[in-house]
């Protein structure tokens, strides 16, 4: 049995649910404690507990009871949903992180993963191949919370030696789980409509390029970052991470190669403004150099895999 005890917070979410399964595969079911604020139908094969990350005492007691050595803190309110209630978003995203960092420091947790996002970028950046060290002037409260979170992560590393690691995820696309409240969610929804044979009304305009990544690559990046030797992690705020970049009309064309006749309409809403403030593509050379990051999926290989798995999923219901 692995000596690691891994706590996942937000284990029912889009990334958390897939990451929980990947960590159970890597470390064994008994080594992974999945938690979420909601009940965990997805975790029948492993340990699951209800946890509100704002409840520091409950978090501390889980860490102590299971002798947790690593925490993956994935609970957050994302970009689009966050704009509906900025102060609540700040409260959950920041105080959740403070609770995790403090409990980790107090109880001697060895490693912490805290995701950041392309939402840290805003005005005054080069939009193509946005560099690691671009100025960070986000326009959403979610982006603001991620910038602050990156700096707090670095602070805990420098001040207390807590091994906090982080990735700036692009939009994450997978068949296993549904996204919630993000600006990049269209790129998941569109596949579901294609498989159901329905036209899709896209909430971004056809030429809006955004950085994206396939779930398999996002999970592998996370595990590779966490497995890398501490001395190779030179960025202690958060690493730029790239998979691919495309626009709604390009993903539609990729799907149409497999599903001829699939129809997409464009009805941009408030999320267009958020997307327009983000990079079109990301320079992730620091991640490649420091810990060997290399994505595997491009748009067409992702499309084939997504359609295959979603067709299987809908056929079985």
Q: Does 119 bind ligand SER (CB under 6 A)?
A: yes
Cα pseudo-dihedral 80, 42, 10, 82, rounded to 10: 10
Assess contact for 271 and 202: CB atoms under 8 A.
no
Mark whether 142 is an active-site residue.
yes
The answer to the question of residue 89 lying near ligand SER (CB under 6 A) is: no
Which residue reads 């789980």 in tokens? 177
Q: How many residues bind ligand SER (CB under 6 A)?
A: 11
Query: Cα separation of 169 and 225, whole Å?
Result: 13
Q: Least distance to ligand SER from the beta carbon of 172, Å?
A: 6
- Among 142, 193, 214, 239, the active-site one is 142
Q: Residue 159's Cα: distance from chain center in Å? A: 26
x/- contact string, 165-204, with ligand SER (CB under 6 A)?
A: ----x-x----------xxx--------------------
Pick between residue 46 and residue 171 the one whose CB is nearest to ligand SER.
171
Binding flag, residue 79, ligand SER (CB under 6 A): yes
Distance, CA of 180 to CA of 6 (rounded, Å):
24
**Minimal distance in Å, beta carbon 211 to ligand SER?**
9
CB of 179 to ligand SER, least distance (A): 7
Q: Using CB under 6 A, which of 9, 51, 62, 78 touches ligand SER?
A: 78
**Nearest CB to ligand SER, comparing residues 119 and 225:** 119
247 interacts with ligand SER by CB under 6 A: no
Minimum distance, C-beta of residue 81 to ligand SER, in the bound complex (Å): 8
Output 60 or 181, the one with its CB closest to ligand SER.
Answer: 181
Distance spanning both ends of the chain, measured CA to CA = 36
| Beta carbon nearer to ligand SER, 184 or 254 | 184
DSSP 8-state assignment for residue 282: B
CA distance 159 to 187: 39
Nearest to 110 by CA among 75, 71, 155, 149: 71
DSSP 39-68: --GGGTTSEEEE--TT-HHHHHHHHHHHT-
Work out whether strand 70-73 and strand 111-113 pair parallel, antiparallel, or are unpaired.
parallel
Q: Is residue 282 at the binding interface for ligand SER, with CB under 6 A as the rule?
A: no
Enzyme catalytic residues: 142
Positions that interact with ligand SER (CB under 6 A) = 78-79, 117-119, 142, 169, 171, 182-184
């Amino acid at each position: 049995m692995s000596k690691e005890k891994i706590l996942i917070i937000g284990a029912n979410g889009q990334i958390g649910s897939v990451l929980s399964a990947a960590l159970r595969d890597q470390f064994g079911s008994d080594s992974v404690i999945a938690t979420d604020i909601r009940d965990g139908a997805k975790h029948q094969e492993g340990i699951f507990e209800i946890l509100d990350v704002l409840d520091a005492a409950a978090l501390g007691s889980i860490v102590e009871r299971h002798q947790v050595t690593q925490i993956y803190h994935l609970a957050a309110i994302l970009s689009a949903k966050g704009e509906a209630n900025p102060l609540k978003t700040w409260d959950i995203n920041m105080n959740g992180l403070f609770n995790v960092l403090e409990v980790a420091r107090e109880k001697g947790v060895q490693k912490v993963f805290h995701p950041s996002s392309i939402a840290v970028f805003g005005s005054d950046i080069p939009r193509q191949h946005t560099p690691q060290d671009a100025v960070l002037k986000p326009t959403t409260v979610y982006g603001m919370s991620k910038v602050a979170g990156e700096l707090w992560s670095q602070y805990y590393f420098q001040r207390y030696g807590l091994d906090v690691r982080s990735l700036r995820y692009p939009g994450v696309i997978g068949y296993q789980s549904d996204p919630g409240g993000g600006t990049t969610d269209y790129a998941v929804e569109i596949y579901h409509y294609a498989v159901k044979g329905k036209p899709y009304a896209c909430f971004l305009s056809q030429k809006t390029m955004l950085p994206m990544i396939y779930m398999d690559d996002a999970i592998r990046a996370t595990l590779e970052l966490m497995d890398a030797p501490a001395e190779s992690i030179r960025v202690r705020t958060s690493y730029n991470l790239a998979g691919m970049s495309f626009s709604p009309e390009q993903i539609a064309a990729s799907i149409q190669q497999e599903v001829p006749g699939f129809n997409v309409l464009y009805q941009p809403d408030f999320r267009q403004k958020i997307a327009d403030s983000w990079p079109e593509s990301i320079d992730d050379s620091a991640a490649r150099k420091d810990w060997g990051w290399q994505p595997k999926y491009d748009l067409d290989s992702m499309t084939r895999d997504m359609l295959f798995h979603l067709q299987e999923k809908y056929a079985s219901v």
